[in-house]
Amino acid sequence: MRKLLNDELNRLSVEEFKRVSKIPLVIVLDNVRSMNNIGSVFRTADAFRIEKIYLCGITATPPHKDIHKTALGATESVDWEYFEDTLDALKKLKDDGFYILSVEQAENSLKLGNYNFIYDKKTAIILGHEVRGVEQRIVDLCDNVLEIPQFGTKHSINISVCAGIVIWEYAKQILLK
Give the per-residue pLDDT at 66: 96
Closest CA to 43 of 4, 35, 122: 35
Give the per-residue pLDDT at 155: 86
Q: 104 pLDDT exceeds 80? A: yes
- The band of 176, judged by pLDDT with boundaries at 50, 70 and 90, is confident
Total Cβ atoms within 10 A of residue 76: 15
**First-to-last C-alpha distance (Å) of the chain:** 27
CB neighbours of 67 closer than 8 A, spacing ≥ 6? 35, 36, 38, 39, 42, 60, 61, 75
- The band of 175, judged by pLDDT with boundaries at 50, 70 and 90, is confident
| Contact by Cβ (8 Å): 169, 73 | no
Q: 177 pLDDT exceeds 80? A: no
CATH numbers and ranges of domains, the chain = 20-174 (3.40.1280.10)
- The band of 20, judged by pLDDT with boundaries at 50, 70 and 90, is very high
